[in-house]
């Protein structure tokens, strides 16, 4: 979602800001803007992509060593030039960029209108900067104090940066519920909503915490205080991100690169956590909480989107191996439905970005009810990673394509390790089964590599169905969440309507949709209730549906029924999601490319959904 970049130092700000916006493009946005300070604040902004903003700025003089820039994902007010950020204050001496939502903006706006303020946009953001200026002038205090007081009046979430023409050597930043990172260079500072725009300049970063305000002055030490006016000492973290991981490295799209990275990302997820020879499986980050998990009456997994699908795979595996009841909840539902949460529940939050607003709020709720919260996140230092009692990073590396791919398989890998660990401690798995699974898990990266060889075949199948209007994905057991994920991938990036369903449940509704034009993707490896799935395939075939089946290498039975088959290597049943997902990712990818869709930045979607 919205992206923030800021700079103050000795270099030209504009190129840094624009490059930073490009780095943040993956988050999803619909307008972009920049403000630089050169005697007065110059704001340039427009609807569309960062490239359009660059055209809009053209040859205008943007010389300055201080500035800020923004990509906006519309919430309040349609995506247009006026609603794009930055926004000026009434006097135009201040400007602001903002991620998040000010919930009480209407009340504040009405009050400000009565006091003579005139607003240009429909945004909540513009209200905030007017409020700050109103406090500054009426109470006659400095900008830092005015900002602090204003932030005590707003309800909602924010990451903001403020520029003032009266203070040409200062940027003010603050956060609550929306991430903001400060890069600390030599005689310069960078600001961004995630580390990607900062990493090429410095590895030293400070993560602002909720309700913290940073005063960033040229040639001075960084100062942080809370909005309740308590001084804080900035804590500098070292970024581990590499610049290479933010580039396409020869692939046409980030999504394709990330699909092909999965042998590596899965291996990195279990590296140091799995030793097939000694039979050692452990997740170092949560060792302290293992007993809690073992004694938990229930594990609740909260997540959104693709992470929710990984959670479902986790539910099936943990229940099967460790015999602990697991509930999987959409974070957005959980947070508002007054759920029953006991102190001996363990809540696991899964999130690639670690910033999803609903997941954050669900964690807060569970925490307030005394539950233990663990996190499975990909982004190091993210809000969820910092908010949970303990957790495990997935180590998939930065995921730039909006549609999640390698993060999903990494999350599933962590959940498999967790299930194995708990089952081993609890004694709910036989030694032979345990070794069988971990030996196979070690081989999974190679088998993913082998699976990726279906790419050309999948591309040919994609060519046949690129104009389809609907798709059905069916699977049972561990493959039901895989079907959901396959359908989500397709709709996200190709805009073809797709539904995932438990294969047997199909006859209670979706079967009505099946005719000779309906492609039905079956996840049908020869494990689990294979025969039952074959019956479901027969049911579709009897209604002339077109069958595309993911099958185990060497399968002969499904091959006779299906119109198209895609083979994956043989493996343990519960590890199959790690393989079966791959051709489905490729299928969506190729269909989307053939339809001319923007694969890495699909319309309306955001990589990290920081508003509810």
| 2 catalytic residue (yes or no) | yes
* Binding flag, residue 196, ligand G6P (CB under 6 A): no
Segment holding 313, helix H or strand E: helix 305-322
Smaller CB distance to ligand G6P: residue 143 or 302?
A: 302
* Binding flag, residue 391, ligand G6P (CB under 6 A): no
* Binding flag, residue 409, ligand G6P (CB under 6 A): no
Q: By the 8 A CB rule, do 68 and 6 touch?
A: yes
Q: How many Å separate Cα 309 from the centre of its chain?
A: 13
Q: Which of 269, 353, 552, 601 binds ligand G6P (CB under 6 A)?
A: 353
Which tokens hold the place of 16?
Answer: 């840094």
Q: By the 8 A CB rule, do 194 and 207 touch?
A: no
Which of 2, 46, 304, 377 does the annotation list as catalytic? 2
* Binding flag, residue 356, ligand G6P (CB under 6 A): yes
* Binding flag, residue 305, ligand G6P (CB under 6 A): yes
The string of DSSP codes covering 262-304 is HHHHHHHHHTTTEETTTTEE--GGGGGGHHHHHH-SEEEEEE-
Other Cβ atoms less than 10 A from the Cβ of 527: the count is 18
Q: To the nearest whole angstrom, how small is the minimum distance from the Cβ of residue 401 to ligand G6P?
A: 9
Smaller CB distance to ligand G6P: residue 90 or 382?
A: 382
**Burial (0-12, 13-18, 19+ Cβ within 10 Å), 249:** exposed
Residue nearest to ligand G6P (CB): 305
| Whole-angstrom distance, CA of residue 262 vs CA of residue 396 | 8
* Binding flag, residue 352, ligand G6P (CB under 6 A): yes
Q: To the nearest whole angstrom, how small is the minimum distance from the Cβ of residue 489 to ligand G6P?
A: 9
Exposure string of 486-514, with b = 16+ CB inside 10 Å and e = fewer, is: bbbbbbbbbebebbbbbbbebeeebbeeb
* Binding flag, residue 451, ligand G6P (CB under 6 A): no
Q: To the nearest whole angstrom, how small is the minimum distance from the Cβ of residue 60 to ligand G6P?
A: 34
Smaller CB distance to ligand G6P: residue 216 or 488?
A: 488
Segment holding 374, helix H or strand E: strand 372-377
* Binding flag, residue 608, ligand G6P (CB under 6 A): yes
Q: To the nearest whole angstrom, how small is the minimum distance from the Cβ of residue 309 to ligand G6P?
A: 8
Which range binds ligand G6P by CB under 6 A, 7-15, 103-111, 316-324, 349-357? 349-357
| Whole-angstrom distance, CA of residue 370 vs CA of residue 550 | 43
Whole-angstrom CA distances from 360 to 167, 350, 412 are 35, 10, 20
Q: Are strands 470-475 and 390-393 parallel, antiparallel or unpaired?
A: unpaired
* Binding flag, residue 577, ligand G6P (CB under 6 A): no
Smaller CB distance to ligand G6P: residue 89 or 306?
A: 306
Q: To the nearest whole angstrom, how small is the minimum distance from the Cβ of residue 66 to ligand G6P?
A: 32
* Binding flag, residue 351, ligand G6P (CB under 6 A): yes
Q: Which of 74, 146, 184, 402 binds ligand G6P (CB under 6 A)?
A: 402
Which range binds ligand G6P by CB under 6 A, 108-116, 350-358, 533-541, 576-584? 350-358
Smaller CB distance to ligand G6P: residue 269 or 353?
A: 353
Positive or negative, the CA dihedral 376, 382, 388, 389 is positive
Q: Which of 262, 306, 392, 565 binds ligand G6P (CB under 6 A)?
A: 306
Smaller CB distance to ligand G6P: residue 129 or 418?
A: 418
Which tokens hold the place of 372?
Answer: 């233990």
* Binding flag, residue 363, ligand G6P (CB under 6 A): no
* Binding flag, residue 304, ligand G6P (CB under 6 A): yes
DSSP helix/strand/coil, 365: helix
Smaller CB distance to ligand G6P: residue 356 or 581?
A: 356
DSSP helix/strand/coil, 226: strand
| 304 catalytic residue (yes or no) | no
Say which DSSP state 172 is in. Answer: E
Which range binds ligand G6P by CB under 6 A, 56-64, 207-215, 299-307, 545-553? 299-307
Smaller CB distance to ligand G6P: residue 363 or 371?
A: 363
Closest CA to 479 of 533, 553, 541, 417: 533
**Which residues are near ligand G6P by CB under 6 A?**
304-307, 351-353, 356, 359, 402-404, 605, 607-609
Q: Which residues are catalytic?
A: 2, 607
């Amino acid at each position: 979602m919205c992206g923030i970049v800021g700079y103050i130092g000795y270099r030209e700000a504009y190129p840094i800001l624009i490059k930073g916006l490009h780095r943040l493009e993956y988050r999803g946005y619909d307008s972009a803007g920049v403000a630089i300070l050169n005697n007065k604040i110059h704001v340039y902004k427009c609807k569309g992509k960062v490239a359009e903003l660059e055209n809009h700025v053209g040859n205008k003089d943007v010389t300055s060593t201080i500035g800020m820039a923004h990509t906006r994902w519309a919430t309040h007010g349609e995506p247009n030039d006026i609603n794009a950020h930055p926004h000026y204050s009434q006097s135009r001496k201040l400007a602001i960029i903002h991620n998040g939502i000010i919930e009480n903006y209407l009340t504040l706006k009405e009050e400000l209108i009565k006091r003579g303020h005139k607003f240009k946009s429909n945004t909540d953001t513009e209200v905030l900067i007017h409020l700050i200026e109103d406090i500054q002038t009426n109470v006659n205090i400095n900008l830092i104090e005015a900002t602090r007081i204003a932030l005590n009046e707003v309800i909602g979430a924010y990451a903001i940066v403020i520029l003032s023409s009266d203070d040409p050597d200062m940027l003010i930043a603050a956060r609550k519920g929306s991430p903001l990172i400060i890069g600390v260079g030599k005689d310069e500072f960078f600001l961004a909503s995630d580390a990607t725009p900062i990493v090429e300049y410095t590895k030293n970063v400070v993560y602002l915490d909720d309700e913290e305000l940073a005063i960033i002055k040229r040639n001075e030490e960084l100062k942080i205080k809370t909005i309740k006016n308590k001084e804080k000492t900035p804590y500098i973290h070292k970024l581990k991100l590499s610049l290479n991981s933010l580039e396409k490295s020869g692939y046409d799209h980030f999504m394709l690169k990330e699909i092909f990275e999965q042998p590596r990302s899965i291996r990195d997820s279990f590296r140091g956590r799995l030793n097939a020879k000694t039979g050692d499986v452990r997740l170092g980050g949560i060792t302290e909480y293992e007993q809690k998990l073992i004694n938990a009456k229930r594990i609740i997994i909260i997540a959104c989107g693709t992470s929710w699908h990984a959670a479902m795979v986790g539910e099936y595996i943990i229940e099967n191996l460790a015999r602990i009841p697991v509930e999987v909840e959409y974070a957005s539902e959980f947070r508002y439905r007054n759920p029953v949460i006991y102190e001996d529940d363990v809540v696991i939050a899964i999130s690639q970005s670690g910033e999803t607003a609903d997941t954050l709020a669900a964690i807060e709720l569970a925490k307030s009810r005394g539950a233990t919260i663990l996190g499975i996140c990909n982004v190091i230092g993210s809000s969820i990673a910092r908010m949970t009692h303990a957790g495990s990073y997935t180590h998939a590396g930065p995921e730039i394509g909006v549609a999640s791919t390698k993060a999903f398989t990494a999350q599933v890998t962590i959940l498999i390790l967790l299930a194995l660990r708990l089952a081993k401690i609890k004694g709910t798995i036989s030694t032979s089964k345990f070794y069988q699974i971990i030996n196979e898990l070690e081989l999974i990266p190679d088998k993913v590599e082998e699976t990726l060889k279906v790419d050309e075949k999948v591309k040919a199948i994609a060519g046949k169905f690129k104009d389809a209007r609907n798709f059905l994905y069916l699977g049972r057991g561990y493959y039901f969440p895989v079907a959901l994920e396959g359908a989500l991938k397709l709709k996200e990036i190709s805009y073809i309507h797709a539904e995932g369903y438990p294969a047997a449940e199909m006859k209670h509704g979706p079967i009505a949709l099946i005719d000779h034009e309906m492609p039905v993707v079956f996840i049908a490896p020869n494990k689990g209730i294979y025969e039952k799935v074959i019956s479901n395939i027969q049911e579709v075939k009897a209604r002339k549906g077109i069958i595309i089946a993911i099958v185990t290498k060497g399968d002969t039975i499904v091959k006779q029924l299906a119109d198209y088959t895609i083979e994956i290597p043989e493996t343990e049943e519960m590890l199959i999601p790690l393989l079966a997902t791959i051709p489905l990712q490729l299928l969506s990818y190729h269909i989307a490319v053939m339809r001319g869709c923007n694969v890495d930045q699909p319309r309306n979607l955001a990589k990290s959904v920081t508003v509810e």
